[in-house]
A and B are shown apart, each in its own frame.
Chain A
């Protein structure tokens, strides 16, 4: 029996032979990650473990991106704790000021994650790096503290669901729509305890950023990881971002899967997740009477340069509806600079958008874009749980950057072709 992607990558990092899903194995890690919400608890746990030092100061990334620039004294003190720890341990990859970006956009951009890596992060969207062929998964702070101390962790080898995507994307349909459609079909617990593995003849149409958008939301189906094979598209992205020596990686021919899902991509309209779960998905055409108060373009799901380009394509020479607050957050300083250079920020400004710094703030109702009672938001983020962005009486719809831009213009959810 051959191995699927999850098994192949885990095997490379484990001294134990992987025989079947369900087996618990020890595993060396390539990188350990935490942010300003989860790192303070990880620091506390690390101290209680009485570990004298981290296993490797070059293989830990501490990214203070959730409440920064700090919103209040309490959050400032949390970051202070992380900063002091980073200095004490000589952590190479500590990011907080002008170098900080949304963690899952920042680390791939810095070449810190890539093909065949095992990455664990105290953030559920760590699975994003599966877009580059890494086995990457979210854990809690204490698991992360253990990995920081030992350089290893344990995994239960997951079963894998194979997702076969075939056909060609329509003009305004993106990878965000594909993953929303999939979550709508298999539901928020459809991949519970399992990995998703993406395949099919649509893959060459999806660039590395589009793949990361899909892998990012594997957790929204309950998935442990969302994995793409490593092809030339991946290798080109990694080389451009300073990684050398990566290799092609494909599942074996006779690999085992617990389930196969077939997706016909051609003709799929833009998809929207309605309140209050990411699996409450329908085509954009069913929702055109939904008025919005706010639109957020950004996050680890869709705050990359390709996302900003798509939104700018719609917003060029148009105005944001006077009843809408349109918030744009480029996910990293590099994306910010690129968007400035390409004139995208000028398009957003002229349209009446608000351009903020790289931060996760609004996505989790942290700061910069909190919703009042009775308000509705369309966001390119990944979660629309009740109260996610503020008041328990607010509503969040999820959609692609194209839909976000067209909705900002119309003041109601609308197909990008009709704005």
Chain B
């Protein structure tokens, strides 16, 4: 739960159509979905991403559809963690279920900029900004979500229950 990478900032209300447009939903392959990550925001957005980079969202990140293809596309693009002002509810649940780490920081998001080099200690809720020297605290990851993450996602969690 320790990440280091360059931040890529997007705006408020980034919807699931922006994260992965409907025309891309004829596959469930993470690599292919990853290649089209944010294609509804900008063609070829993903070309700027290096594996391990961090996405910064604004308010209500992931609003819209229930499509789980959205967190899968972000993970497929090589991004393991999203820090945002706030998350849309279904996306929040989907993210953790898929093993994508989501940190909610509210108005503190203004202290993180596009291009910043960030270090994230997810379970402690600490975001260290190496570009500015700042540290931003996130809301704690709910215990239930941390439990799912610790098991590597909801699939493993349920597998234990049905066994």
Which A residues lie at the B interface, using CB under 8 A? 24, 37-38, 40-41, 44-45, 48-52, 66-67, 72, 74-75, 78, 121-124, 126, 138-143, 145-146, 149-150, 154, 188-189, 192-193, 219, 222, 224, 277, 364-366, 383, 385-388, 392
Contacts and interface: CB of A to CB of B under 8 A. Distances in A.
B40 A142 contact: no
A146 B157 CA distance: 9
Given A24-B142, A364-B22, A392-B40, 10 more contacts: A66-B25, A67-B26, A75-B26, A124-B65, A140-B93, A142-B68, A189-B86, A192-B88, A383-B17, A383-B64
B162 A385 contact: no
A386 B28 CA distance: 23
Contacts of A277: 13
Interface string B147-163: 00000011101110111
- Nearest 3 A/B pairs, CB to CB: A74-B26, A140-B94, A140-B68
A222 B16 CA distance: 13
Nearest to A389: B22
B21 interface: yes
Contacts of B65: 123-124, 364
A149 B153 CA distance: 16
Contact of B64 (A124, A143, A193): A124
B23 interface: yes
Contact of A24 (B25, B72, B144): B144
A388 B41 CA distance: 11
Given A67-B26, A139-B66, A387 B17 contact: yes
Contacts of A74: 26-27
10 contacts: A37-B69, A49-B159, A74-B26, A124-B65, A124-B90, A141-B66, A189-B86, A192-B88, A224-B89, A388-B17
Among A78, A277, A392, the most chain B Cβ lie within 10 Å of the Cβ of A392
Contacts of A40: 28
Interface in B10-32: 13, 15, 17-18, 21-23, 25-28
Interface in B31-74: 40-41, 43, 59-60, 63-69, 71-72
Contacts of A38: 66-68
A44 B154 contact: no
Contact of B23 (A126, A189, A222, A365): A365
Contacts of B88: 189, 192, 222
A192 B21 contact: no
Contacts of B157: 146
B138 interface: no
A85 to B, nearest CB: 13
A189 B66 contact: no
B154 A146 contact: yes
A79 to B, nearest CB: 10
Given A143-B154, A277-B13, A192 B86 contact: yes
Contacts of B123: none
Given A67-B26, A189-B59, A383-B64, A140 B18 contact: no
B18 A386 contact: yes
B146 interface: no
B98 interface: yes
Nearest to B162: A51
Nearest to A279: B13
A52 B72 CA distance: 25
B81 to A, nearest CB: 18
B17 A50 contact: no
Contacts of A150: 158, 161-162
B106 to A, nearest CB: 12
Contacts of A386: 17-18, 40-41
Contacts of A219: 64, 90
A45 B71 CA distance: 15
A50 B159 contact: yes
A28 to B, nearest CB: 15
A193 to B, nearest CB: 5
Contact of B97 (A52, A124, A143, A193): A143
A37 B67 contact: yes
B144 A188 contact: no
A37 B25 contact: yes
A138 B17 CA distance: 16
Contacts of A44: 28
